Amino acid sequence: MGDFNMPEPIIKTKILLVEGKDEVILLTELLADLNLEDDIEVIEAGGTSQFVMKLRGIKARSGFDEVTSIGILRDADSNPQGALQSVCNALHNVKLPEPTTPLTPIVGPPQVTVMIVPDADSPGMIESVCLNSVSDDPAISCLEQYFICLHEHNRVLAENNVPKARVHAFLASREWLEIAHFEYLQQCMHNYEPIIPESPAVAVPKVHAFLASRYTPDLNLGIAAKKSDNEDRYWRFEHPAFDNIKRFLQML
């Protein structure tokens, strides 16, 4: 017989369901920032097409009977009302409580709270929140010129992929700076010259910036969130852009 991998048991009484692995990393870091990491377990629940199946699997896990609160974080994409309805339909399908409005807990058991990001009335996604938190970063104006240039050259991105592409391009700017700083420290600590060296390593952020121009850019939220401390973390959790998500997490 082949190996059979049992699903991991749920070990906390509160769970947060998010769409993908990068969101798991991002929200785990944010929970740690709020000192809530010991209370809430973050679980990947997949996108809209997988959500009912994933919910059934989560309900079947050992430890689910002890869960007292479920939070669901879902991208609005182009239709925030449709995103909420999709979540409610999935909850109904698996016989869990269905909130009628976002950020309004419905008593269970378990209690269920849904948040649509960036909010209940605006199109967008978690990437939109992250980019809003760095809106005053000098790299953002460069990003705007980059995407204007792409548009002028008829490189059209799907509407739902634009925030992902902007995140990817922003991360490329961070990689470039980190590579340049590291090489300066190594090569010319005592003789600084204000010219960014062109080395093979610089090809990496250039590739990532180029990939941001593709129709389906990769998603790397977790790279920017999982840093050692507040000083070198890319996304600014202290920025008001994250306030609604913080309130949501504290409601669970």
Q: Tens of pLDDT along 80-128?
A: 999 999 999 999 999 999 998 999 999 889 999 999 999 989 888 888 8
- Identify the weakest region by mean pLDDT among 23-27, 33-37, 170-174: 170-174
* Neighbouring-strand partners of residue 72: 17, 114
Percent of the chain topping pLDDT 90: 42
Reply yes or no on whether the pLDDT at 189 is more than 90. no
Distance from C-alpha of 120 to C-alpha of 76, rounded to nearest angstrom: 7
| pTM of the entire predicted model | 0.76
Over range 118-144, report the average pLDDT.
Answer: 82
Residue 217 or 76, more confident: 76
Q: In degrees rounded to 5, what are phi and psi of residue 235?
A: -75, 140
Distance from C-alpha of 236 to C-alpha of 242, rounded to nearest angstrom: 8
Q: Please tell me whether the peptide bond between 163 and the residue prior to it is cis, using omega within 30 degrees of 0.
A: no
Contacts of 185 (CB under 8 A, 6+ apart): none
Residue 20 carries which side chain, given as an amino acid letter? G
CA dihedral 158, 164, 166, 170 (to 10 degrees): -160
Q: Where are the domains of the chain?
A: 14-125+243-251, 134-234
Cβ contact 98:42 at 8 Å: no
Work out the pLDDT band at 45, boundaries 50, 70, 90. very high
Reply yes or no on whether the pLDDT at 178 is more than 50. no
Residue 2, sorted as left (phi over 0), alpha (psi -120 to 50) or beta, turns out to be beta
Residue 246 or 222, more confident: 246
Residue-wise DSSP of 159-192:
GGGHHHHHHHHHHHHHHHHHHHHHHHHHH-TTS-
Reply yes or no on whether the pLDDT at 160 is more than 70. no
Q: Which CATH class name applies to 14-125+243-251?
A: alpha beta
Distance from C-alpha of 145 to C-alpha of 147, rounded to nearest angstrom: 6
Give the 3-state secondary structure of residue 20.
Answer: coil
Q: What angle do CA 125, 126, 131 make, to 5 degrees?
A: 100
Give the 3-state secondary structure of residue 233.
Answer: coil
Distance from C-alpha of 24 to C-alpha of 129, rounded to nearest angstrom: 15
Q: Could you tell me the two tokens for 71?
A: 């939070």
Reply yes or no on whether the pLDDT at 44 is more than 80. yes
Q: Could you tell me the two tokens for 104?
A: 């309004």
